[in-house]
Amino acid sequence: MTLPKRTDCEGFHRRDFLQIGAASALGLSLPGVLAAEAQARANGRRPGKAQSVILLWLAGGPATIDMWDNKPEAPEGIRGEFKNIATTVPGLFLSEPLPKTAQIAHKLTIVRSLHHTIPSHGPASLFMTTGNKPTAALQYPSFGSLMAKLLPVPRGVPPYVTFGGNPSTNFGTAGYLGTSYNPFFIEGNGAGRGEKGYGGTFSVRGLTLRGTVTLDDLEKRDQLLRQFDSTFTAYDRSSELLSGLDTFHQQALDILRSDRTRTALDLSQEKDSVRQTYGNTPFGQGALAARRLIEAGVRFATVTFGGWDTHNQNFTRLKNNLLPVLDTVLSALVNDLEQRGLLESTIVMVAGEFNRTPRINRNAGRDHWARSMAVVLAGGGFPRGYVHGSTDASGMAPATDPCTPDDLGATIFTLLGIDPHLELTTPTGRPMQLFREGRPIEKLL
C-alpha cells in the first residue's frame, strides 16, 4: 500500500507528527499534587471527567461526507461510490471502508453538524486547532499550548511536543502565550522493521547526548551559559522573550535528566502484536506512542495523518490508502485505551480542517467545503453510541443542532474541567477568553 503525499493543494507540508501538552501531576508527591490542584483552581480549572486528549488530525480536509456522514441516497453527482454498513449502534451507518470503526461505534460520538466559513487550509487549520477564528491582529494559542499553560507539568516530561512537525509552520504554536509554551520537535516516525520485529525510533530534536558528552558535561556547560546569560538579561529583565527561552531551556534540561519521556517513546518495549494492531505506519506507531505518553502522564497528544486533500480520485485514494489506515488506527487506539482503563479519562478526537464538496468534480474528486463537516469523538465523558446533529439530504449544510469549532473547543475544555470563558492576558495586557465565541454543547456533556 502506497502512503499518500504529505503536501496539500496550497503547499502546506503535512508530515506525520505528535503534539503533546502539559503532563498531569502523576509522579509528584502528595503536597505537590495538592499545590498543583490549588493552582489549577486558581487558573479556572475544576475536576473534570477527562484528564487528557489525543487528537487524530487528518490534514488536508477529509471527505467526511464519504466517511462519517455517507449519503448513498443522494442524487447522482453528489452521492459517492461507497455503500453504508451497519454498526454496533442500531440505526447508525458508516461508510463501507470503515469496518473496524463500525465495530466500535458504541464507544463513539459522531458530530455531523459542525460547520464554519473558512475553506482555506491554513486559516481553517488554525480555527479547528485553536477554537478561535484567525485574525491578523492576534495569534491564538493551540489547544496543546493552552494545556501547557493551565495544567501542572511533572519534571522530565515536555509540556508540548510535535512528532515529525515542521518547525517553520505556525500550526500548533503558543501564539500570544509566548515562547515557553511552544512545542518541542520529535524526529522519527516509529515505523519500519528491524531484525527483531518492528523497528523505528523517536528522539527529541536537539536533546540527544551524542559521542562522549555526558550529563555532567552538559551541567557544567549549562552553568557557564547561565553566567553569560545573567550579564545580558540584566539589561532587560522584563523581556518576555528571554523569560520564555529560559523556561524552554530548563524544560529541555529536565527532559535530558529524566528517563520518563525517553521510556515512553521507546516502542521496542511494546509487544510486536500490539504494534501490529496499530499498523506499521507512521500514523499507527505515532498513535501507539501517544497512548504510551498518556500513560506516562502527558495531557495532550496530537497525531497527524496527511494526504486528505483529494481534489483528484477522491474515492480511489480513500478506499486504497487513507481510510484503511485510519480505520485500523482509530479502532486500535480506542480499544487499547479502554482495555487499559484510560478511555474514560482520555478524549479521542478525529478531525481535519474542513470537509469536501458534496458535488463531485470532473476529476472524480471533491473540493474544499467548510459549510458542513463531521468529527468523531470518544471517551473523556462524551456520550457513547451517540450522533449529534445532522446534515440535509445532500450534505450541503447542517439540518439540526449546528455547532462550530469554537463550540467544540469550549466543550472539550469543559470536560477537562477548565472554564472555557477563563480570561488570559495577551502581551499587550488585553484580557482574552479561551474561546471568544464558543459555548459548550450541552447535549455532549
* CA atoms within a 13 Å half-sphere pointing along the CA-CB vector of 354: 28
Q: Are 174 and 159 in contact (CB under 8 A)?
A: no
pLDDT of residue 26: 32
Measure the CA angle with vertex 79, ends 117 and 72; round to 5°.
115
pLDDT of residue 141: 95
pLDDT in tens, 221-254: 445 445 445 444 444 444 555 455 556 556 666 7
Domains of the chain in sequence order: 18-444 (3.40.720)
pLDDT of residue 103: 98
Residues of the chain with pLDDT under 50: 2-5, 14-37, 209, 213, 215, 217-218, 221-222, 224-225, 227-228, 230-238, 242
pLDDT in tens, 404-421: 999 999 999 999 999 999
Residue 412 host element (H or E):
helix 405-415
Q: What is the pTM of this model?
A: 0.84
* CA atoms within a 13 Å half-sphere pointing along the CA-CB vector of 6: 14
Please state whether 370 falls in left (phi above 0), alpha (psi between -120 and 50) or beta.
alpha
Alpha-carbon span 358 to 363, nearest angstrom: 14
- Cell 516502542: give the residue: 267
pLDDT of residue 46: 60
- 108-114 vs 386-388, strand pairing mode: parallel
The pairs formed by 267-276 with CB atoms below 8 angstroms and a separation of 24 or more are 267/190, 267/198, 267/200, 267/201, 267/202, 267/292, 268/198, 272/197, 272/198, 274/336, 275/197, 275/198, 276/198
Alpha-carbon span 264 to 276, nearest angstrom: 18
